[in-house]
Amino acid sequence: MDTSTHIVMGVGLAGLATLDPNVSASPYMATAVLATTLVASNAPDFDTILKLRNNAVYIRHHRGITHSLPALSLWPFIISGGLMLFFQDAHWPTLLLWAAISVFLHVFVDIFNAYGTQALRPISNRWIALGVINIFDPVIFGSHVFGIMLWIIGLPPGPAFIGIYLFLICYYVWRYKQKQKVVRQARQIHPNASHIFVSPTIRWHRWHLVIRTPEMLYVAQSKDRVIHFFESYTFDPIPNDRVMQAARSDKNLAAFLSFSPTYRWEMEATDDNGYEVRFVDLRYRSNGYYPFVAIVKMDEQLNVITSYTGWVYSEETLRKKLKIIT
């Protein structure tokens, strides 16, 4: 989920924590728990600092080790221990408990969007992305804001957030069933599909689709239970020639391939006798453009001149990032 949602979830969990006798009996503890749930609800995303290095490092590691099984165990101790420096009279086991709940919930809800996490690492490095909830979901965000407003006007936050979380459980189940309907409908159209990638949007009844058959890739959208097809591409496995091997050794392309499960690629000679290799993630389509890309430009000897991976929304922007405006 996005940062704003994790923040309101942290506040919501602090409201839920008022049902804990150790919290409800002490305003001091209530403040300490609020600080704990706010920090813990965002801690797994502290790896965003990797953006300061470069996009390749960020894409390859974001939602990786910080969302892993070892991290689930370590974050609560790190956070609760650190906050004990500021709340020295707090009941540490209570802070530890709510830190653990907050971290677990952060990782758990991240599994449900298309980006996913490596939540089973080190058992498996596979990305778990259920593709049910958009990165920002107005229902999830709005329901937490509603609960916070009830708390502000003086209603008991514990019962309010119990009701909200029961509602959200039902919402998640409904969204999962809606996705399954989209998958079944797509499979009726292409019964020989080997993979059907579904990505949610901010709108309830609109889903992005990439359908892969043994021969083709189809980019489509499900809108109001009707599937509309946009583009189709021949499904060509990545070749094992010397140009592609050289391109795949680049860190930006390697990061892209470690993250993207469905893409198309292009390889062409350039005017200066070099080569340009481009990969486009087909899951993300915006106004007819695919903004998540990786591109590698090499010279005649297959030395990498420049490369980039990340989000760009125009060819001009991409060329600026590559510093090769033509």
181-199 burial string, b = 16+ CB within 10 Å, else e? ebbeebeeebeebeebbbb
Q: Is 223 within a domain?
A: no
**Element (DSSP H or E) covering residue 81:** helix 69-83
SS3 63: coil
Residue 165 and residue 252 in one domain: no
Range of the domain at 272: 242-322
* Whole-number pLDDT of residue 325: 37
- Rounded distance, CA 285 to CA 28, Å? 49
SS3 221: strand
Total domains in the chain come to 2
Q: Is the pLDDT of residue 301 over 90?
A: yes
Q: pLDDT tens for residues 176-207?
A: 999 999 999 999 999 999 999 999 999 989 99
Residue 303 and residue 163 in one domain: no
The CA-to-CA distance between both ends of the chain, in Å, stands at 38
Q: Is 14 within a domain?
A: yes
Residue 272 and residue 154 in one domain: no
Residue that terminates a domain, selected from 174, 204, 219: 174
Q: Is 179 within a domain?
A: no
* Whole-number pLDDT of residue 186: 97
Which amino acid is residue 146, in one-letter code?
F
What order of strands is seen across the sheet that includes strand 216-223? 195-200, 206-212, 216-223, 226-234
Residue 150 and residue 264 in one domain: no
Residue 170 and residue 22 in one domain: yes
Mode of pairing for the β-strands spanning 226-234 and 263-269: unpaired
Q: Is 211 within a domain?
A: no
Q: Which two tokens stand for residue 119?
A: 């939540």
Q: Is the pLDDT of residue 324 over 60?
A: no
Q: Is 154 within a domain?
A: yes
Residue 159 and residue 254 in one domain: no
Residue that terminates a domain, selected from 130, 146, 174: 174
Is residue 118 a contact partner of residue 108, using CB atoms and an 8 Å limit?
no
Residue 40 and residue 128 in one domain: yes
Q: Is the pLDDT of residue 320 over 80?
A: no
Residue 249 and residue 163 in one domain: no
pTM for the whole thing? 0.88
Q: Is 291 within a domain?
A: yes
The chain-wide mean pLDDT, for the chain, equals 91
* Whole-number pLDDT of residue 64: 78
Q: Is 57 within a domain?
A: yes
SS3 per residue for 90-127: CCHHHHHHHHHHHHHHHHHHHCCCCCCECCCCCCCCCC
Q: Is the pLDDT of residue 172 over 60?
A: yes
Residue 164 and residue 260 in one domain: no
The answer for 298, left when phi > 0, alpha when psi is -120 to 50, beta otherwise, is beta
Q: Which two tokens stand for residue 207?
A: 């889903």
Residue 7 and residue 153 in one domain: yes
Q: pLDDT tens for residues 6-51?
A: 999 999 999 999 999 999 999 999 999 999 999 999 999 887 776 6
User: What is the mean pLDDT of the segment spanning 90-116?
Assistant: 94
Residue 150 and residue 256 in one domain: no
Residue 10 and residue 126 in one domain: yes
Q: Which residues contact 45 (CB under 8 A, 6 or more apart)?
A: 3, 6, 63, 66, 106
DSSP per residue over 147-199, as a string?
Answer: HHHHHHTT--HHHHHHHHHHHHHHHHHHHHHHHHHHHHHHHHH-TT-SEEEEE
Q: Is 221 within a domain?
A: no
- Rounded distance, CA 221 to CA 326, Å? 34
